[in-house]
Structure 1
Amino acid sequence: MGCFSIKCGLLAGSVFGAVIAILGGILIPVGDMIIERTVKKEAVIEPGTTAYDNWASSEIAVYRQFWLFDVKNPQQVVQEGAFPEVQEKGPYTYKTRYLPKANVTFNPNNTASFVLPMGAIFEPSMSVGPEEDTVTTLNLAVAGAYSLLPPASHILLDMVINSTNSSLFQHRTVKELLWGYNDPILKDTIGLFSPYNGTSDGPYNIFTGKDDISKVSIIDRWRGETKLSFWNDTYCDMINGTDGSSFAPFVDKDVPLYFFSSDICRSVSASYEATMNLKGIEVYRYSLLPSTLASPVDNPDNKCFCRNYETTKNCTLAGALDISSCSDGRPVFISLPHFLQGSEYLREVVLGLHPDEEHHKTFLDVEPITGFTLNFAKRIQANMMYGPAKDITVLNKVKDYTLLPLAWLNETATLDDKTADMFKRELISRIDMLEIVQQVLLIAGTSRGRAHGNYS
């Protein structure tokens, strides 16, 4: 006999509400499992996945903006030993890394190998002037020869400098300084980034994450080696992390992110700074810590990066990295722009520098679910050293070693509106919808059961 009483109806409603609540409770772990399984599947670097499409694509433009340091008092530096005074000029912007990865090969050990073709296309609309703008800058050949030749050869070097009508400083166009010019002393093409066009970075071997998603994008080998050979030290020669373009999914903001940069010939780490909103997508901002370029006095781990005790004041200077061992012997020092986070001394002997945390720091904006870097700014400065030399006319008035900034760059890229909308539609909206369904079922089930309980 059927149950048609009010009490039976209330009982049935309560049971139905409990079932909905239980279903909502079940959906939470099940939904999380679905999300996790889907993300891990799509994060593997192999044809057909979202990660592969982003990894292989060259659709998101990467730009390099350059600010060059124009020396305002070259004669006073040479004739009186004055501190150089500089003024930055820029940006001069180039589209770089617009070419897709080349020689892509998937290997049996769940790694993928490739090279990164390099090129630079000038973007006048994003620049303050043409490439033909001129700057007064350090003579790269004079400073380079001074740094590389022993003092016994300085008299000969002075003769060469005089015979070519060269000096400690020179006038060069933006294009010449960045990409190369024929030098009268070396009888060869030199420039801060010469050669660049038509060259490539790598080859790289990275883990695809197919067998272990926590290893996805981590560099296995660079130029065929699992470690570097620049620093003659096990710690400093380690290749850690990815190339910075992506990380393993489900990022934990309490754990630093590690990445390797061939531009500075070393691995670094970045730590969580803040949660940001990027075109409606929540991202974690990571930035370099001051300890990255700290002196060995403050960070003993950096001792193996100190190459020259004389020019670094017995390795007590912070903020500059000597990369001559990985730049074909060229005496180049890398720092953050305007010697941000560097020793005060570096800014005392070069006038006109104004470090600013917001404009000069390096950061990555990483979407925490996928581990994709959706926005970044890599900011580094190229510097060269010169110092006193009694047998070189253009240097015999110089009083102390000076690390002179030549140019700083901001390599940057961010997802466009179309990609942001696709990202939100394909991932974020589905996760949000699943969470909404979970919450609605829980609330509906709990409310229905509570309501019927009151009537009983």
Structure 2
Amino acid sequence: MFSGAKDMEHYGIFDRYNMRERLPHWTTDECNSIAGSDGSIFPPHITKNDTLMVYDKDLCRLLPLRFLQEVESKAGVQGYRFTPPEDVFAADEHNKCFCPAGPPCAPHGLFNVSLCQYDSPIMLSFPHFYLADESLRAAVEGISPPVPEKHRLYIDVQPEMGIAMRARARIQINLAVSQVVDIKQVANFPDIVFPILWFEEGINELPEQVSSLLRLATRVPPVARSALGWGLSALGLLLILLAVTCLIRSSHRQSTLRLEGHAVAKAPPAKTPGKENGYELNNRR
């Protein structure tokens, strides 16, 4: 995992996982990439337009997360909530690389993990088939419609620091059951994706001490920057006024000296008419 010592843009991103730089399961380098976070820390200065990438070892793939809404922790720290997009498990072109065996691939809303889970017929989804095809839920009796607030996966991140404040990972494990005509007892069973269980793990709030430090780290710098900006502006204005005052006083002093110099100056003494070159001239008649 990158520590951010050389590049903070990759802070908290996996470099290797189990000594591997890439996964061996899928058909393209992009789908085999592990260049994501573990979900606890992300590169700083996150915006609402960013897509956060989290590597999920159970899914054996990167899970994209996109901005959902602004949130606030109990400690008063502002954050952004990120959640997987609606097409994250869509049966479309951008997920084609996760179906190396070719069609038929997993239905919309399901992810086939058999290749990375010892070839077991397991498909993962969100609880109650949230974001999945309606036919999957209709095929099973007794399963209620999904509620986004209860069944959505999300991570709340403090955007400036890139620290996860609150998170909920919710995944449902499903068993893909295929019709077996050779076994009389199940010969009439249709192909079905049967939900086994769903689980939830995460964190509600950071410890109070950590929340206090995070609140301090996010609130003090903006106030300090604002105060420093106003302080420097006031200092600059004061220096300009001081410089103008000094120039005015200097100009006034020079003008006074010039006037006094004209007033004190005297004309040189006139020569004595009766003397010229040190000799007295006699008047001749």
TM range (shorter): 0.7 to 0.9
Q: CA-to-partner distance for each residue in 1:396-430, whole Å, 9 max, x for gaps?
A: 231x21101111111111313332123223x1342
Unmatched segments (≥5 aa) in structure 1:
1-205, 449-456
| Counterpart contact for 1:307–1:322, Cα < 8 Å | no
SS in 2 for 1:236: helix
Residue in structure 1 matched with residue 97 of structure 2 by the alignment: 304
The question of 1:388 aligning with 2:182 is answered no
> 2:98 corresponds to which letter in structure 1?
F
Residue in structure 1 matched with residue 51 of structure 2 by the alignment: 256
Query: Quick one: distance in 2 between partners of 1:307 and 1:385?
Result: 17
SS in 2 for 1:378: strand
Unmatched segments (≥5 aa) in structure 2:
239-285
Query: Quick one: distance in 1 between partners of 2:179 and 2:106?
Result: 20
> 1:376 corresponds to which letter in structure 2?
A
Shift of 1:220: 0.8
SS in 2 for 1:220: coil
- CA-based RMSD of the aligned residues comes to 2.4
Residue in structure 2 matched with residue 362 of structure 1 by the alignment: 153
Match of 2:72 among 261, 273, 277: 277
Shift of 1:444: 7.0
Query: Quick one: distance in 1 between partners of 2:137 and 2:237?
Result: 66
SS in 2 for 1:381: strand
SS in 2 for 1:405: strand
SS in 2 for 1:270: strand
| Counterpart contact for 1:365–1:373, Cα < 8 Å | yes
| Counterpart contact for 2:80–2:156, Cα < 8 Å | yes
The residue correspondences of 1:410-429 to structure 2 (distance < 5 A) are: 410-413=200-203, 414-425=205-216, 427-429=217-219
> 2:87 corresponds to which letter in structure 1?
S
Query: Quick one: distance in 1 between partners of 2:4 and 2:236?
Result: 41
Query: Quick one: distance in 2 between partners of 1:238 and 1:252?
Result: 23
> 2:82 corresponds to which letter in structure 1?
Y
The residue correspondences of 1:76-91 to structure 2 (distance < 5 A) are: none
Shift of 1:352: 2.5
Residue in structure 1 matched with residue 169 of structure 2 by the alignment: 378
Residue in structure 1 matched with residue 251 of structure 2 by the alignment: none
Query: Quick one: distance in 1 between partners of 2:235 and 2:151?
Result: 53
Structure 1 stretch 352-361 or stretch 300-309: which is displaced more?
300-309
Residue in structure 1 matched with residue 269 of structure 2 by the alignment: none
Match of 1:437 among 223, 227, 230: 227
Query: Quick one: distance in 1 between partners of 2:117 and 2:106?
Result: 23
Cα distance change of structure 1 residues 270 and 433 upon mapping to structure 2, 3 Å threshold: same
Match of 1:222 among 14, 17, 29: 17
Q: How high is the TM-score relative to the length of structure 1?
A: 0.48
Shift of 1:386: 1.1
| Counterpart contact for 1:241–1:259, Cα < 8 Å | yes
The residue correspondences of 1:116-131 to structure 2 (distance < 5 A) are: none
Cα distance change of structure 1 residues 316 and 220 upon mapping to structure 2, 3 Å threshold: closer
Residue in structure 1 matched with residue 193 of structure 2 by the alignment: 403
Q: CA-to-partner distance for each residue in 1:309-339, whole Å, 9 max, x for gaps?
A: 67xxx33720111101111122111101111
Q: Which has the larger radius of gyration?
A: 2
The question of 1:315 aligning with 2:118 is answered no
Shift of 1:292: 0.7
Shift of 1:236: 1.9
SS in 2 for 1:292: coil
Residue in structure 2 matched with residue 22 of structure 1 by the alignment: none
Query: Quick one: distance in 2 between partners of 1:395 and 1:306?
Result: 27
> 1:409 corresponds to which letter in structure 2?
F
Query: Quick one: distance in 2 between partners of 1:284 and 1:341?
Result: 21
Shift of 1:306: 2.7
Query: Quick one: distance in 1 between partners of 2:101 and 2:130?
Result: 21
Q: Which has the higher contact order (CA 8 A, sep 6+)?
A: 1
Query: Quick one: distance in 1 between partners of 2:146 and 2:100?
Result: 25
SS in 1 for 2:105: coil
SS in 2 for 1:366: strand
Residue in structure 2 matched with residue 287 of structure 1 by the alignment: 83
Query: Quick one: distance in 2 between partners of 1:252 and 1:347?
Result: 36
SS in 1 for 2:65: strand
> 2:30 corresponds to which letter in structure 1?
Y
Q: CA-to-partner distance for each residue in 1:77-132, whole Å, 9 max, x for gaps?
A: xxxxxxxxxxxxxxxxxxxxxxxxxxxxxxxxxxxxxxxxxxxxxxxxxxxxxxxx
> 1:214 corresponds to which letter in structure 2?
E
Give the structure with the larger strand fraction.
1
Query: Quick one: distance in 2 between partners of 1:308 and 1:357?
Result: 32
Query: Quick one: distance in 2 between partners of 1:403 and 1:307?
Result: 20
Query: Quick one: distance in 2 between partners of 1:405 and 1:417?
Result: 38
